Structure 1
Amino acid sequence: MLNPPDGMPRITPVLFYADLGKAIEWLIEAFGFEKRKVLNDDDGSIVHAELSFGEGVVQLAGTGDGRRHEPRGQGEPHQSLYVFVDDVDEHHERARKAGAVIRDEPGTRFYGDRNYTAEDLEGHHWVFARRIEEIPYDEIDTP
């Protein structure tokens, strides 16, 4: 038996959404994810999903059944996902057009990445980046 399973990265973030169906479609439209797997309950409602972005995978789960994983209403975000894309500015435009809340406009950062931060439809923060300069860790000048 493979551990992790074939096609899964060693670390996979899980995000909780009140409306999984809406979240899946929005993440596909806004951020360019692809649907990998969707698990439905006996009544047809979605209870779990996996989306891919290149070789990366994110799992989605619902907030029902007494789960206490509501991202909204908890003040500051308690997580952020960092995703590498090929063209930060094109990706930013796509997300903006789909209604993503842009928290930080595209820019080149002191650590060598060009990135922007967006908030999805239920308050999760996503950073989309492209490495544009390889700076050795011990040579990074923090602001």
Structure 2
Amino acid sequence: MAAKARPTPDGFHTVTPYLIVEGAEKIISFLEQALGARKHHEPTLRPDGTIMHATLRIGDSMVMIADACEHAKAMPAMLYLYVPDVDTAYRCAIEAGATSIMEPADQFYGDRTGGVKDVAGNSWFFGTHIEDVAPDELKKRATEMFKNQGKAA
């Protein structure tokens, strides 16, 4: 008798993003170039050659991806990835074909953050944690930021 499988497979976390896109092959290539993603296994293809299922490892996390089909329509997602160097990740993503949403900048909540959009419309925000901010200080900084935004409007 085979050993009982764990509820969460090795290498996975409780929550795993699953991207349904038009042009999964392009997005997989983008993720490999921009983020160093590696295929967990070769993609499973449908008879028409589109990708039915692929799993990629990015850092210590898995991302599943598939081409849209009748039962799973394409929809953009927003993902936040912690990376060692947000500026490098942002630049690599732009070089791999993404468009800029937000250039990297230090944020009040303690991360340096930048964002891009891939060709399927998914937003990828990169963060590098640069400061631990206490809850009271975080609240104070957020209030100040919103007050300053009101002045700029």
Q: TM-score, normalised by structure 1?
A: 0.86
Q: 1:129 aligned to 2:127? A: yes
Runs of 4+ in 1 over 3 A off after TM superposition: 42-45
Structure 2 Cα separation of the partners of residues 94 and 122 of structure 1 = 17
1:89, distance to aligned residue in structure 2 (A): 1.0
Instruction: Return 5+ residue gaps in structure 2 as ranges.
Output: 146-153
- How big is each residue's C-alpha offset from its partner over 1:80-127, in whole Å with a ceiling of 9 and x where there is no partner? 101011111111111111221110000000000001011011110111
Equivalent residues of 2:20, 2:73 under 8 A apart: no
- Tell me the CA shift for residue 31 of structure 1: 2.6
Match of 1:60 among 60, 65, 76: 65
CA deviation after TM superposition for structure 1 residue 54, in Å: 1.4
Aligned residues: 136
Larger radius of gyration: 2
Q: Which runs of 5+ in 1 are unaligned?
A: 72-78
In 2 relative to 1, CA 138–6 (structure 1 residues): closer, same or farther, beyond 3 Å? farther
Establish whether residue 28 from structure 1 lines up as the match of residue 37 from structure 2: no
Question: Which residue identity is paired with 1:21?
Answer: E
| Residues 20 and 47 in structure 1, CA contact (< 8 A), matched pair in contact too | no
C-alpha RMSD over aligned residues? 1.6
SS at the partner of 1:6?
A: coil
Normalising by structure 2, report the TM-score: 0.81
Structure 1 vs Structure 2: percent identity of aligned residues?
Answer: 35
Greater helix share, structure number: 2
